[in-house]
Structure formats: C-alpha cells, structure tokens
Amino acid sequence: MTSELVILVVVLISLQLHWGVDALGSASTVAVAYGTSTVCGISAGKKSQRIQCHRGDQVISILPQVSFEAISGGQSFFCGLRTGGFSLHCWETDAGFSNHSFQPKRIYYSTNFPLTDLAVGDAQVCAREISSGKAICWRGSNRVGSLFPSPDPALDFLTITSGSGFSCGILKNKTVRCWGNNGIGSKIQSQLGNLLMASLVAGESHVCGLTALDGVLVCKGNNNAGQLEVPSNSAHEYSDLALGTSFTCAIRQNNGVVSCWGEGANELNIEKNINVSVSFELITAGSDMLCGLKTNNLTIMCWSKANNNSPVVLPLGMIIPGPCVQDSCSHCGIYPNSAFLCDGSGNICKSCQRELPFAVPLPKSPNSSSNPGSSSPTKSINRLTMAFLIVGAIGALAGTCTILFCISNCLTSRSSCNTANNQEQNINQLSLIENSSARAFSLMELAVATNNFSSENKIGAGSFGVVYKGKLTDGTEVAIKRGETKNDEKTEDPQEKQNAFCSELTTVLRLNHKQLVGMVGYCQENDERLLVYEYMPNGSLHDHLHNKDGLLLNTWNIRIKIALDAARGIEYLHNYAVPPIIHRDIKSSNILLDGNFTAKVSDFGLSLMRQPETSTESAVGGTIGYIDPEYYVSKISTAKSDVYGLGVVLLELLTGKKAVFRDSGGGVPMTVAEYAVERIGRGELWNVVDKRVRGGEMKEVDAVEMVAYTAMHCVKLEGEERPNIGDIVENLEKAIALCSDELCDSV
C-alpha cells in the first residue's frame, strides 16, 4: 500500500576548484585593494592560512586570524572567504588604519550554503553558492545596502568574475551571462555571443578569458587603450590573467613569464621591467597595479605607478598559490610542498591550465600510434593527451556534480497511474502528468493510427513492450510503445509492468532536450499501457551500423556527430535533469536518428525502474555487451554505467562491429571492447576502424584518434577511472572541431 521513496544511488563527485583565475574581480590568494595601494595575501606555512596586508611600508595583520581560502580586492576594500566557504568578511582599507588594523565586517554566514568564487568588483561583492551555482551579490556603488543586482537565481554558474559596475559568469553550457548596474555587462555579453568559455576574468570595463574548445585567449569590452588586442592568439598560449583599468596581463603557459598590453601596461612599463626569466604562479590586478606570486619563493612582486613602475617585492613572506583543500586533487595533481605550505591542513591543487604544456601523468594513453596520416605519431598522441587534459580541466571547472537518484514506486495502486490516493508523491506525479504538454490518447485513436497494431507497423521492441509506427489523424507520424499485457502475463508480474510504464511516463515527462526522443502522449485504458513518442524516420544507430550496409553513415563527421548528440543527451540526463537520471540501458539500438540524422537517446524504460532490494537476477537491467562490469558485482548502476554503455557505442561507431560478435572464423563471441581496446592501445587503431568509412585525411585522423582515446577511457573496468559525461562531450566537441569543413563531409 505504501509507496516508498528509495534512494538508490548517491554519487558525490567532490568539488574540484578551478584555480588560477585572478584579477580586479576574481578570487585568488593575492588581492589588491586599489586606491589605497593595499596588497594582501594569504600566508603560507602558518598554522592557519591567515591574511596579511601591505600598505605604505607597513605590514598589517588581519583579524580574525583564521584560515581563509580566497581573497579579492576592490576600490579601497577587500573581502575574504573563510576556508570552507561558509562565511564572507570584508575590510575597508581606507578606515581604521590609524591603529594598524582593518576592521572586519561579516557580510555572509551560512553553514548550509557555503560559497565559492568570491569576485569583488570596484564596489560590488559577488560569490557563487556551491550547491546551486547561483551567483549572489552584495553592496554596490556606495558599499552599503544591496545596490548591485544579483543575477537570476535560476542561473547555474561554473565561475564568476566582477568588473566596475558589472559582473559576468560562465554558465553550465559554457556561454557567458553578465549583469550589473551599467551597460558594460550587456555589451560584453552580446560581444561574446555564444562563444564557449573555459575561464573569464574582468577588468574595469573589459573581460578576457580562454575559450573552452581550444584555449585561445579572447578579450571583449572597452578597447580605448588597446587592452583587447591580444598579441598572440595561439591555442593554449596563456594560463592566468589579470586585468586592470585599461591593460591586460597574462602568464605564458610554457614559462610563467608575464606579458601585458594596453595603455596602462605602458604606463606601468611592465614589459620593460619584467625580467623575462622570472616566472609567476599567478597574477592579480588593481586599477593601475599588477601583482604576481613569484614561482621561485612564492613572494608577492608588484608594479605600480606609486613605485615608479619598478618591481617591488613585498615583505609579506610566502603566500599560498591556491587554497588548502582537504579533498583530493584532480588529475592535475598536488602543488609541490603543499603539505608544508598548508602546514598540514590539506593540500593545494595544481592549476590544470598551467600544467598543459608539460608532461602530466594522465590515465594511461596509448603508447604509440600507427597513424597513417601523420608524420609524427607520438606527437599526435601527445596532442590527444593534451586535449583530454584540457577537457579534464574544464570538467574540474564544472564543479560539484551531485547525482541524487531517487526511485519511486510510481503509484501505490496496483493497477493505475490515475488512481487518486493520498500519497503526496503520487499527487506530485499526477500533477506532473496533468501539467505536461503530453496528450492523453484514447486506445481507439492509437489503434486507428497503427492500423489496429498491425505487424507491418511494428518497428521494434523496447524495455516494456513492442513499438509501432503510427500516423495520427492530423498526419503526424509517431512511435507508439505498447506494453504487451495479454500474451506474456505469465512471464511478467503485472505490478512490475505497471511500474515500468509509470516509471517511463513520469521520467520522460520531466525531460525536454533536443537529444532525447520526445514524448507526445500516453494512453491508459483497461489493461493497456501505451506511450506515444515522436517518430524517428531514420531508425536506430544499431540498424545502420549492423543491419544495413552502413553506407549512410560513411563519413567520420557524421559518425562523430552522432556520438556527440548521444553524449549530449546523456549529459542532460546526468547533469541537468532534476533529479538527475541514470539511463541504465545505453546501447546503439536506443540511439535513434531523425530525418536529418540528428541522434536522440530513447527508451527510458529502465531508468528509475526497480528497487535494488527487490531486484533479483531476473531484474538485472541492461543489455549484454553494454553492461558496466562493476554493475555485475555491485548491482548498482551509476552514472559511470551509462558512460560504459556509451563507450561501447563509440567503439561500434569506430569499428563497425557489434557490441558482441563472433569473428570471421566463427569463433567464440567477443565484445567489441575486448576486440578494440587492446589493439588501439597497441597503436593499431587504423587496423580496427570500420573500412566502410571514407577518408583518412589528416584532420580526420586526429578526430578519430580523439574518439578512440575517449572510448578507451569510457570502457575502463573501474567506474572511477572513466571520464564524466561532461568530459566526453568536451572531447567529442573537440573531435568535431578537428574534423572540420571540407575534410570531413557533412551530411
């Protein structure tokens, strides 16, 4: 009778801070409170990571002397985020100086909703709530009240930055959204358009950042002094950025040397005064001041007009180059000596961007490559390794990903989704159904549409029944999934069937994404349970690869595009659906193609279905050849189980082989993972790729290797070693970009 809510899986992927984005308005461990020429840093090697400031020739200890993880400066004030992000304090640097201390003001405290990404502009203070990604701002032009607007709380940001009178952030889909109380933000937002960004830093009235796809530095906004004129625009040339009133500075990735451009840069004479053999870990700017943390001894060096533009090393001792964290670091590793720098209270993670050009240990990449199109196979793999890293860095930036997977027993009633009852959850489900755009069809309508479910109209079988093609009276073609209640009653428990129907119905009604097959409606009459979906005229990927001649999918471009579409559909389920959904049956026959060969993920029948406690062997979900090896042991599906299934689909696309097949000698069946992974690892990718695909041009070769490399990681035995779906999407986007224009025909 009672309907239980069972929590199946809670996957917590801990927050990996993306570090190394510092400027006028972004969190760092060095802050410039300009106007008062005050520079502050978070001390290293002390029992607590406390703040010390330098102003005039004085060193000022900041109260309270507790650990801070980030600081950021504005005009005559700066703010700090306590370690853990649960409280935010600000200090005026033009007041209270006579008694050699700045007076703290706490402006935020919450143990439930900790913050990150502190971004102080000229007067506003913004930060991002870790759990929701929403940006919150305080203060404003006169530093009191709440004059500066916060953006729409529904917007989920990956990172934020603040300039003078405006702030900007990178959204989950990597596009930029700006807000504020002057017109600069909206101007910058429209100039950036739909450009996908990996990092973003604001100056007074311009922003710069690295693009997500290729790490190119782009700047937008006010260009009165040439501050937007990036001297060299090669991919992955720069890492950290610092922007002032009308200058831009960036650290070169390969040697840590700072270069600057724009009018202010000349005024500061930074170029002339920077010793090209001095390397910096990070840089940060005030309006007319630049400070950096020197790599050799982690001391702060600053240039400002007040110091006649010559560099000055501040007597603040060693400063931590990033926050001390308790969590483990991402694949970019731990900063050297960080246990010492944090005095035993955690570790500092390396900035991924900074590490790119250097050899960083990665999940084992193929040792060599027999790439026929490239003169330098090793180089090609290095490039791939790097691309994976970039993607990793972006993945890390994506921050917290909490997958809370709830199974509901659909409805308590034994027979019907429509039975009213007093369970709150059921009421929710009913209202979901009632409020959705899905139509309730009568059985008669659907029988007419399918010529009474004639066998000619049968187009497949899904997880809870047979699928028919139908034509509604208005001419719309639909796919109708019908639970087979009559014939197989012996083999399936009717309650289970009802659960499957309700599960799929309530799941799909919540979803709306162009890479998921959309629901048109449903029907429930007597014993009949039917779901009506949009019709996908080009059928399944499985059919094209394995049952037809495969010639409609004979370019790498179309195959990679299909892979990317499918990955985006899964990414939506994992990262954007609320609550997140694990599909549990990703396979090529569940990837359908519309009239333009755009791929969509279908068949949510196994999603959210069946409780682990009641599951028996017969309830094992999934399809042989695609099942996550970890699932056999744990009987728990995770997001990484879908990643495994997608990895198998990628291998099918690459090799043209079925998930499980017998080799030509008619030998024992083997999986495509067994067949391909080892060979690709040995550098024999080009021996296993599907020969039906035309091409083999240089750019295609890189793209295909990228897909192969991604696929290999997706089918790792240990779920933990598999990439997140977001990383996979990034890799496939990168592959598509490599496989550009004339070299890879588009369909």
Ligand X SMILES: *[C@@H]1O[C@H](CO)[C@@H](O)[C@H](O)[C@H]1NC(C)=O
Q: Tokens representing 176?
A: 């930029």
> What string of H, E and C letters represents the secondary structure of 117-142?
EEEECCCEEEEEECCCCCEEEEECCC
Write down the least CB distance from residue 310 to ligand X, Å. 11
Q: Name the residue nearer to ligand X (CB basis): 381 or 479.
A: 381
Q: Which of 578, 400, 396, 580 is nearest to 12 (CA)?
A: 400
Contact of 88 with 106, CB cutoff 8 Å: yes
Using CB under 6 A as the binding rule, the residues of this chain from 200 to 259 that contact ligand X are none
Q: Name the residue nearer to ligand X (CB basis): 274 or 342.
A: 274
Q: Name the residue nearer to ligand X (CB basis): 501 or 572.
A: 572
Q: Tokens representing 266?
A: 């000349």
Using CB under 6 A as the binding rule, the residues of this chain from 330 to 369 that contact ligand X are 367-368
List b or e across 268-280, with b for residues whose CB sees 16 or more CB atoms inside 10 angstroms: bebeeebeeebbb
SS3 599: strand
Q: Name the residue nearer to ligand X (CB basis): 279 or 538.
A: 279
Q: Tokens representing 278?
A: 């001095």
Residues paired with residue 593 on neighbouring β-strands, in sequence order: 599
Binding part of the chain for ligand X, among 38-46, 217-225, 271-279, 492-500 by CB under 6 A, reads: 271-279
Handedness of CA 572, 577, 579, 584 (dihedral sign): negative
Q: Tokens representing 251?
A: 């650290």
Contact of 366 with 345, CB cutoff 8 Å: no
Write down the least CB distance from residue 439 to ligand X, Å. 27
Which residue in the set 275, 375, 487, 526 belongs to the binding site for ligand X (CB under 6 A)? 275
Write down the least CB distance from residue 444 to ligand X, Å. 41
For the chain, the maximum distance between any two Cα atoms, rounded to a whole number of angstroms, is: 90
Write down the least CB distance from residue 195 to ligand X, Å. 9
Q: Name the residue nearer to ligand X (CB basis): 268 or 530.
A: 268
Q: Which of 405, 332, 327 is nearest to 14 (CA)?
A: 327
Helix, strand, coil percentages (3-state) for the chain, rounded to 5, are 25, 30, 45
Residue 61 near ligand X by CB under 6 A: no
Q: Which residues, other chains included, contact 634 with Cβ-Cβ below 8 Å and sequence gap of 6+?
A: none
Which residue in the set 14, 232, 297, 326 belongs to the binding site for ligand X (CB under 6 A)? 297
Cα–Cα distance, 93 to 96 (Å, whole number)? 8
Write down the least CB distance from residue 395 to ligand X, Å. 18
Q: Tokens representing 401?
A: 């990903």
Which residue in the set 5, 12, 144, 313 belongs to the binding site for ligand X (CB under 6 A)? 313
Which residue in the set 147, 171, 218, 339 belongs to the binding site for ligand X (CB under 6 A)? 171
Residue 277 near ligand X by CB under 6 A: yes
Q: 664, exposed or middle or buried, with CB in 10 Å at 0-12, 13-18, 19+?
A: exposed
Write down the least CB distance from residue 96 to ligand X, Å. 4
Write down the least CB distance from residue 104 to ligand X, Å. 11
C-alpha dihedral (721, 726, 727, 733), degrees to nearest 10: 150
Angle at 320 between CA 274 and CA 234, to 5 degrees: 45
Binding part of the chain for ligand X, among 10-18, 264-272, 275-283, 705-713 by CB under 6 A, reads: 275-283
Handedness of CA 59, 61, 67, 72 (dihedral sign): negative
Binding part of the chain for ligand X, among 16-24, 117-125, 294-302, 534-542 by CB under 6 A, reads: 294-302
Residue 278 near ligand X by CB under 6 A: yes
Using CB under 6 A as the binding rule, the residues of this chain from 192 to 211 that contact ligand X are 194
Contact of 209 with 160, CB cutoff 8 Å: no
Residue keyed to tokens 């014939």: 487
List b or e across 173-192, with b for residues whose CB sees 16 or more CB atoms inside 10 angstroms: ebebbbbbeeebbebbbebb
Write down the least CB distance from residue 362 to ligand X, Å. 12
Q: Name the residue nearer to ligand X (CB basis): 135 or 659.
A: 135
Residue 487 near ligand X by CB under 6 A: no
Residue 443 near ligand X by CB under 6 A: no
Q: Which residues are catalytic?
A: 585
Using CB under 6 A as the binding rule, the residues of this chain from 517 to 546 that contact ligand X are none
Q: Name the residue nearer to ligand X (CB basis): 45 or 696.
A: 45
Residue 415 near ligand X by CB under 6 A: no
Write down the least CB distance from residue 698 to ligand X, Å. 24
Count, residues near ligand X per rule CB under 6 A: 18
Which residue in the set 175, 309, 382, 451 belongs to the binding site for ligand X (CB under 6 A)? 175
Does 734 carry a binding-site annotation?
no
Q: Name the residue nearer to ligand X (CB basis): 278 or 403.
A: 278
For the chain, first and last CA: distance in Å?
54
> What string of H, E and C letters represents the secondary structure of 239-252?
EEEEECCCEEEEEE
Cα–Cα distance, 187 to 205 (Å, whole number)? 10
Binding mask 366-395 for ligand X (x = CB under 6 A): -xx---------------------------
SS3 656: coil
Q: Name the residue nearer to ligand X (CB basis): 99 or 596.
A: 99
Write down the least CB distance from residue 317 to ligand X, Å. 6
Residue 173 near ligand X by CB under 6 A: yes
Residue 677 is given by DSSP the state: H
Q: Name the residue nearer to ligand X (CB basis): 120 or 298.
A: 298
Cα–Cα distance, 641 to 644 (Å, whole number)? 5
Write down the least CB distance from residue 136 to ligand X, Å. 17
Q: Name the residue nearer to ligand X (CB basis): 274 or 348.
A: 274
Residue 299 near ligand X by CB under 6 A: yes
Q: Which of 113, 126, 180, 118 is nearest to 149 (CA)?
A: 180
Binding mask 67-106 for ligand X (x = CB under 6 A): -----------------------------x-xx-x-x---
Residue 190 near ligand X by CB under 6 A: no
Binding part of the chain for ligand X, among 171-179, 239-247, 514-522, 603-611 by CB under 6 A, reads: 171-179
| Residues making up the binding site for ATP | 481
Footprint on this chain of ligand X (rule: CB under 6 A): 96, 98-99, 101, 103, 171, 173, 175, 194, 275, 277-278, 294, 297, 299, 313, 367-368
| Residues making up the binding site | 481
